[in-house]
Amino acid sequence: MTGTTQSHFPLIGSLCSGYGGLDLGVQAALGGSVAWHAEINPDASKVLARHWPDVPNLGDITTINWAAVPQVCVLTAGFPCQRRLRCRSTRRTQ
CATH, residue 26: 3.40.50.150
For residue 23, give its domain range: 11-87
Query: Looking at the 3D structure of the chain, how many domains does it have?
Result: 1
Q: Is position 6 within any domain?
A: no
Q: Percent of the chain at pLDDT above 90?
A: 72
The pLDDT of residue 79 is 80
Q: Is position 60 within any domain?
A: yes
Q: Is position 5 within any domain?
A: no
Q: What is the pTM of this model?
A: 0.76
Q: Is position 28 within any domain?
A: yes
Q: Is position 16 within any domain?
A: yes
Q: Is position 47 within any domain?
A: yes
Chain centroid to CA 71: 14
Q: Is position 68 within any domain?
A: yes
Instruction: Note the pLDDT tens digit of each residue in 28-69.
Output: 999 999 999 999 999 999 999 999 999 999 999 999 999 999
- The closest of 47, 46, 23 to 36, measured between CA atoms, is 23
Buried b or exposed e, range 1-35, using 16+ CB within 10 angstroms: eeeeeeeeeebbbbbbbbbbebbeebbeeeebbbb
Q: Is position 94 within any domain?
A: no
Q: How many CB atoms lie within 10 A of CB 80?
A: 16
Helix or strand or coil: residue 34? strand
Helix or strand or coil: residue 11? strand
